[in-house]
Structure 1
Amino acid sequence: MFKTYDEVMDFCKRENIQMIDFKMIDLIGRWRHLSIPVGRFKPDTLKYGIGFDGSNYGFAPVEKSDMVFIPDISTAVYDPFTEVPTLSMIGDVYVIAQPENYRFDQDPRAVAFKAEEYMKSTGIADEMRIGPEYEFYVFDHVSYEALPNKTGFRIDAEQAIWNSGSNEYQNLGYKIPLKGGYHITAPQDVLYDLRSRMSMLLEQNGIPVKYHHHEVGGPGQIEIEVEFGPMREMADKTMLAKYLIKNLAFKEGKTVTFMPKPLYGEAGSGLHVHMHLFKEGKPIFYDENGYAGLSQEAMYFIGGLLKHAPAVLAFTNPSTNSYKRLVPGYEAPVSICFATANRSAVIRVPAYAKSPEQKRFEFRSSDATCNPYLAFSAILMAGLDGIQQKIDPVAEGFGPYDVNLYNLPPEEQAKIKSLPQSLDEALDALEKDHDFLLKGGVFPKRLIEIWIEAKRKEARRVNDIPHPMEFEMYYDL
């Protein structure tokens, strides 16, 4: 939004800004924030930054936890949810050192920056443009607890089919059947106006919306797809989009979750990532004579992404809940393969994207529990490795499979490698296969170690808790 300190202050004076808020992403992928009165924002703030405790972000040990963040004023936006007029911007994390502080290499935003710089250094491309699809549920009620003697959750959505027989209030019917919400219209589509307000809010904050619609999930699943942009910029915008979407819903008495699988038996929510590479403004993924109009570079990129997919999923699908979505029968991929116009493949080539500038493919397994800076960077590094190593996806047996994979005979399905079925499996793959991430110093080895350690703890925490279904299955044995 701004290029200079003076531009920031002119805006603050013009718009009567009273507070400046700084948002930093922690290791797992949540925004943290700190605010100062506008009068405390000085030119030195952009040089020396503001101190904070990095150990609470998952970055640093307690004994070396003093760090600083330096605001990136180009990311500044007016926060529409604060009572006191507030300007918000992202902060980049730095290590305190003499004579000069230096960029913290484990800061996820620094990883994305280095990934883009490494891409340029290879000569393959100078820009990766991505277009995310945001899928999420909007509920009217959620409660949950995990106590030693009581574990469970309760979710409600007025439009859900389970409320079709409710007599606790005036019931007008028009509920949405199980997995029956795709492009449903009014009066069932009670979230249309909220989606439109969300979309307009994204537009007002520099996130152009391609379209929005009700998704498959009957109890309030929504998709908002946004236009393409450079990789790191789209990671910034993904964090901003989640912030705006969740807070607008909360303001209107609704609750939003980006969990991949909040409801058993219903459609899960993904974060499909469309991608293509450009060099000097020209697309390099297009060849009218190639498979589905894809160039050889695009095919190698696909080969690299599929070969490294199990390890990549440790970043793109980093929650235990992620793997409850990646199961057969829900339009979510379970097999490591590619195809055209096939939503059962982990990489889908959209048949409608025909022009050179539009030619691309999408990675369908990822979900919004990811840290977008790390997830997008891992995707890019895997694809670049494919181009460098000339990994042919056809020769590797990854397809193309232009059929419904779920309908293949068992002997044919057995020939296709499967995605990890749990977070632990993905972490195992990352432990064995991460050299492609270390190229150019993009992913520090210590960051990968910290990530694996943190995610192992999450998996153990879930696996150690007795599940309600276990009582149903085993209590009487």
Structure 2
Amino acid sequence: MAASAVERVLARVKGEGIEVVDLKFVNLFGGWHHISVPLSQVDASLFSEGIAFDGSSVPGFKSLEAGDMLLLADPATAARDPFWDRPALSMIAQPVEADTKAPFARDPRAILAKADALLAASGIATGSLWAPEFEFYIFDAVTYLNDINTAMYRIDSAEADWNSAVGPDSNLGYKIPRQGGYHASPPLDQLFNLRAEMVAELEAAGIPVRYHHHEVGGPGQSEIEVLEQPLRAAADNALRVKYIIKMTAVRHKKTVTFMPKPLYNEAGSGMHFHQRLMKGPRNLFWDPKGYAGLSKLALQYIAGQLVHAPALLAFTNPSTNSYKRLVPGFEAPVKTIFGLANRSAAIRIPKYADTAATKRFEFRPPDATCNVYLAMAAQLLAGLDGIRRRLDPSQLGFGPYDVNVFALPEAEKARLGSLPTSLREAMLALEADHEFLLAGDVFSRELIAAWIHAKIEDEYNAVRNRPHPYEISLYFDA
């Protein structure tokens, strides 16, 4: 009889001399937590009975008077964690109710699983393939402080042009101009060895990588692209990718941020989501006779995402900083349009993906402040709503636009639908348009209301009510 997944993990623990099993789980807003189990306590009960934890101390989970929860290890996610001094095996764990072991209603991973099940039950497709892109900055030093009488941050990078003539550690003339780092080669690209190490760690963890390169941002912006994976595996891997990239940087006394806009007047970092629906091995988005090789079903899916785009951004771009990236002039979308190879569009159809095996599109607004489980579930539900309603993106005025939207006459640009320009706008859009998220009970009204409240009160208002350092420059001598 073939060994079960649990038996294989336990055999691996024994065979590889593992001394600690590290369980990781995600809070409502996308942050990872972990609890570490010594070898003496590792057995089959880790997968069936679980480990107790306090859900009231996890952002977005439980209230204080009802905080008891359990974590159940998922054996399918087992991978070596190379950053421990002792041999460690990492697994993603599922938060469940302590008394019934029922799925927790606010567990983002369980919400994505419901979206995946809804897709399968619809009969439209048997699954979907996804590939987020990972853009990030690697910095040599970061300091910041916020107090009643102080608000400041300072960032440094050995690649930055501001270091071309500063001190003994200056960059000796090999400076990358602002917004001039795209595919820069050594010696301008000083981070290629570090990225190569990141990729080696990713592939050792079973995450297939397409390539890596320096990105547009001069002071240390990089990109690593992974290959497509099924919906849930792609989401799990997204958190693992961020963890491995950050920890590899820490190993070299550097720091990584996936923040959408850490530097003023430099390129921002996005997390574009490539996606397509599948029926068995058949790509449902492919039709060689359709626009850009897209099927009618693919265009309906695209229409669903563009119709709901303002509300989608509440989950795909859920930070105040997100909207400092979504501005003209930095290859970031601001209009709800689609087009072939068009990086000014919210949805781009890659021109190079022109076969039945590769045809897909990318939704370009998202960034890595999102909770990937919620962001991917919302995108899928929006697309399915477009299919259900047989929406036509051209009839709705979404394009296709195969021109640079920023170069259009102002009158024509004004007729195009716009993405939200602030976190508050996105939350108000979600408040007005969320019925599509309730399909199959994937999202609940309670969760959506809690999300909107937290994002407006704890983030938008918290930033809005604080004096900004630039305001001191503008208005101190009033």
- TM-score tier, shorter chain, comes to over 0.9
**How many aligned positions are there?**
474
Contact 1:3 1:73 in 2 (8 A): no
CA RMSD of aligned residues (A): 1.1
2:381 paired with 1:384:
no
Residues 171 and 161 (structure 1 numbering): CA distance in 2 closer, same or farther, change over 3 Å?
closer
Which residue matches 1:282? 282
- In the alignment, the residues of structure 2 paired with residue 333 and residue 64 of structure 1 have an alpha-carbon distance, to the nearest angstrom, of 43
Instruction: State which of 90, 93, 96 in structure 2 corresponds to 1:94.
Output: 96
2:450 paired with 1:450:
yes
- In the alignment, the residues of structure 2 paired with residue 238 and residue 117 of structure 1 have an alpha-carbon distance, to the nearest angstrom, of 20
Contact 1:77 1:89 in 2 (8 A): yes
Amino acid at match of 1:23: K
Which residue matches 2:69? 67
Which residue matches 2:42? 41
Residues 411 and 171 (structure 1 numbering): CA distance in 2 closer, same or farther, change over 3 Å?
closer
CA shift digits 1:388-419 (9 cap, x unpaired): 01111111111111111111111000000110
Contact 1:303 1:391 in 2 (8 A): yes
Q: Secondary structure at the match of 1:153?
A: strand
Which residue matches 2:150? 150
- For structure 2, the residue ranges without an aligned partner over 5 or more in a row are none
Residues 258 and 48 (structure 1 numbering): CA distance in 2 closer, same or farther, change over 3 Å?
same
Bigger shift: residues 452-461 or 341-350: 452-461
Bigger shift: residues 360-369 or 4-13: 4-13
Amino acid at match of 1:333: P
Which residue matches 2:112? 112
Q: Secondary structure at the match of 2:384?
A: helix
- In the alignment, the residues of structure 2 paired with residue 321 and residue 277 of structure 1 have an alpha-carbon distance, to the nearest angstrom, of 31
- In the alignment, the residues of structure 2 paired with residue 131 and residue 267 of structure 1 have an alpha-carbon distance, to the nearest angstrom, of 21
Which residue matches 1:132? 132
Bigger shift: residues 100-109 or 144-153: 100-109
Which residue matches 1:207? 207
- In the alignment, the residues of structure 1 paired with residue 35 and residue 454 of structure 2 have an alpha-carbon distance, to the nearest angstrom, of 24
Which residue matches 1:268? 268
- In the alignment, the residues of structure 1 paired with residue 44 and residue 37 of structure 2 have an alpha-carbon distance, to the nearest angstrom, of 14
2:174 paired with 1:174:
yes
- For structure 1, the residue ranges without an aligned partner over 5 or more in a row are none
Contact 1:116 1:126 in 2 (8 A): no
CA shift digits 1:277-302 (9 cap, x unpaired): 00122111011111111000000000
Deviation at 1:161, TM superposition (A): 0.6
Amino acid at match of 2:361: F
Instruction: State which of 82, 85, 90 in structure 2 corresponds to 1:83.
Output: 85
- In the alignment, the residues of structure 1 paired with residue 423 and residue 186 of structure 2 have an alpha-carbon distance, to the nearest angstrom, of 39
Q: Secondary structure at the match of 2:183?
A: coil
Q: Secondary structure at the match of 1:263?
A: coil
Amino acid at match of 2:70: V
2:248 paired with 1:248:
yes
Contact 1:161 1:175 in 2 (8 A): yes
- In the alignment, the residues of structure 2 paired with residue 120 and residue 241 of structure 1 have an alpha-carbon distance, to the nearest angstrom, of 27
Contact 1:71 1:90 in 2 (8 A): yes
Deviation at 1:62, TM superposition (A): 1.1
Q: Secondary structure at the match of 2:336?
A: strand
Deviation at 1:3, TM superposition (A): 4.4
- In the alignment, the residues of structure 1 paired with residue 461 and residue 4 of structure 2 have an alpha-carbon distance, to the nearest angstrom, of 46
- In the alignment, the residues of structure 1 paired with residue 334 and residue 44 of structure 2 have an alpha-carbon distance, to the nearest angstrom, of 51
- In the alignment, the residues of structure 2 paired with residue 170 and residue 435 of structure 1 have an alpha-carbon distance, to the nearest angstrom, of 55
- In the alignment, the residues of structure 2 paired with residue 203 and residue 419 of structure 1 have an alpha-carbon distance, to the nearest angstrom, of 36
Which residue matches 2:425? 425
Contact 2:260 2:270 in 1 (8 A): yes
- In the alignment, the residues of structure 2 paired with residue 286 and residue 236 of structure 1 have an alpha-carbon distance, to the nearest angstrom, of 27
Which residue matches 1:25? 26
CA shift digits 1:442-472 (9 cap, x unpaired): 1122211221111112111111110011111
CA shift digits 1:222-250 (9 cap, x unpaired): 00000000111101000000000000001
Amino acid at match of 1:27: L
Contact 2:201 2:244 in 1 (8 A): yes
Which residue matches 1:439? 439
Residues 3 and 419 (structure 1 numbering): CA distance in 2 closer, same or farther, change over 3 Å?
farther
Contact 2:158 2:171 in 1 (8 A): no
What pairs up with 1:5-24 in 2 under 5 angstroms? Answer: 5-24=6-25
Deviation at 1:93, TM superposition (A): 1.1
Deviation at 1:9, TM superposition (A): 2.0
Q: TM-score, normalised by structure 2?
A: 0.98
CA shift digits 1:83-110 (9 cap, x unpaired): 121111011011123xx42111210000
- In the alignment, the residues of structure 1 paired with residue 57 and residue 170 of structure 2 have an alpha-carbon distance, to the nearest angstrom, of 48
Q: Secondary structure at the match of 1:136?
A: strand
Contact 1:132 1:272 in 2 (8 A): yes
Amino acid at match of 2:137: Y
Amino acid at match of 1:25: V
Residues 229 and 170 (structure 1 numbering): CA distance in 2 closer, same or farther, change over 3 Å?
closer
Identity of aligned residues (%): 51
- In the alignment, the residues of structure 1 paired with residue 354 and residue 297 of structure 2 have an alpha-carbon distance, to the nearest angstrom, of 17
Contact 1:3 1:74 in 2 (8 A): no
Contact 1:338 1:398 in 2 (8 A): yes
